[in-house]
A and B are shown apart, each in its own frame.
Chain A
Amino acid sequence: MTAVAGPGPVARNEDSAAFFDGTAAGRFLLRRCRPAGHWNRPQAVRCAQCDSPDLRPEPAAGTGRLVSWVVVHPRPGADDPPPPAVPAIVELDEGPWWWTMMVGADPAGLRAGLPVQVVFERPEGSEAVPVWTPVRGQPPT
């Protein structure tokens, strides 16, 4: 199995502080509109479906399906090359897409539609970063 890279570090800012409070507690917070219950990505300020500004944070299930992924290989020639990184798009079971990365999986085994789940990684000096890994025991559909 090919080892793949984990995420790099990220810092919070004013817009993302509540989200990172969530990831620190192992929760993946989306923003849900109060009038109709539509799910939105965590950076939404208005509902993408009904345009309501009345959004509140709510934990997502932390599961989804793989939409697309890329294997970014290290430059050749390095003495001790880092493992490849796997940036990816996941469609959350609640609906929104999340632009992220896959970890803990051989890239050769990835397929569109693969069930995935969130895991939180904590690079040194970083907030907890949500990344995704295949749901164990689930064959691709």
Chain B
Amino acid sequence: MTPSNAQRTTNPSRRAAIAGLGLTDMGPVYGRSSASLAEEAVRRAAADAGLRLSEVDGLIVSNGVSGGVGLGLQRDLGLLDLRLLCEMQGFGSTAGSMVQYASMAVESGAAEVVACVFADAPLRPGRTAQDAYSRGGGGGRDASPPAGWGGLLAAAGVRGPNTMYALAARRHMERFGTTTEDLAAVAVAQRAWAAGNPLAQYRDPITVEDHHASRWIAEPFRKLDCCLVSNGGVAVIVTSAERAAALAHPPVHVLGWAQCHPGLSLDRNPDFGIVTGAARSGPAALSMAGVGLADVEVVELYDCYTFTVLVSLEDYGFCAKGEGGAFVSSGATAPGGSLKLNTGGGQLSAYYMWGMTPLSEAVIQVRGEGGDRQAHPHDLALVSGNGGVLDHHATLVLASGRP
């Protein structure tokens, strides 16, 4: 059982809050290693919080596909005598989980000021975004065919996230009648939100027709169903609410957290493309926070594909199972709609920093620093990470105050 906030035994002054947020430039930022982007993100997050870098006593690092962000970041930053240091990997769920573990460390007294950082630099000049993320089948230029069970998958073209997520989406479409117009509605709504985000890589409005005119990647996915690929780094500083209250920004309290990793076999998985682990991590995190779904004012969902948003909306309960398509096509998630969803444009339009994309936007929104895209009210945010192929889920509940 997840403890509710009322049952948490931690002294309220030690409960965790996010006190700093650091973002580097995002997108085709060339000539920088992921390690140097991570270093800059941590420095910016500490400065944003109003902390000296030397006050950081915990560091959790995480990598994207390009690697290179490791424990050596401690020395790059000149951090001495850390009380907590590790590298984590939960793919798209990592950011939420990093904040969870950092919060647990702060609440237990294991560390006082924990920096959590993600950085990646897969883009290179002359290489497409798709190439940056494609996984080889093992054949390569030496012409020896891929072997064994993995080789059979590669031989059939079952490889890479585009194909795997498209298989999941197709199953949802066949089961519930979800349409390509529904997927388009997600892309169009998020681009409209991105227009208000100066950090977004793509801010020009798009229409359903633009979506339909974009080329097929892995049908039913078109190009505008797929996230961007970005170079960049994002860091947050987690500390105690008491300490955060004395720093530069109003604290963003970490009220609830939960993970779910269903682990169902690829052998037979009745939930594949139908229900994800968010259906469990969501209620658990809300219960810990002592709030209900109706209390949530800002929603930042992981959006590696349009479909991921749609199925996550159902799993969190913002609409009924199978009705995600109708929900997004109603305009409910576009600016001016009933649900303030992916308010910075998300990974589809703003920047692809894995779970740091929804987390960073939630911090900006709860602080009220969203400028043209600021949601009102914005005191309670739900943040969802999703990793693997709908395999790993981490949910956070963040708030401007404690209930």
Contact = CB atoms under 8 A, between A and B. Distances in A.
A91 B270 CA distance: 11
B155 A70 contact: no
A: contact size bracket: 35 or more
Nearest to B144: A11
Majority secondary structure of chain A interface residues (helix, strand, loop or mixed): loop
A40 B265 CA distance: 11
B175 A12 contact: no
B265 A126 contact: no
Nearest to A101: B156
A117 B269 CA distance: 21
A73 B147 contact: no
Contact of A87 (B139, B156, B217, B220): B156
B166 interface: yes
Contacts of B269: 97
Interface residues of B, number: 38
A123 interface: yes
20 contacts: A7-B157, A8-B145, A8-B156, A8-B157, A9-B146, A10-B152, A40-B267, A48-B267, A68-B167, A70-B220, A72-B157, A72-B162, A87-B156, A87-B158, A89-B272, A111-B174, A112-B174, A123-B155, A126-B145, A129-B156
Interface centre among B144, B149, B265 (most CB of A within 10 A): B149
Interface string B146-190: 111101111111100011001110110011000000000000000
B155 A126 contact: yes
Given A73-B216, A73-B219, A7 B156 contact: yes
A101 B267 contact: no
B157 A96 contact: no
A138 interface: no
Contacts of B147: 10-13, 16
Given A16-B147, A71-B219, A10 B154 contact: yes
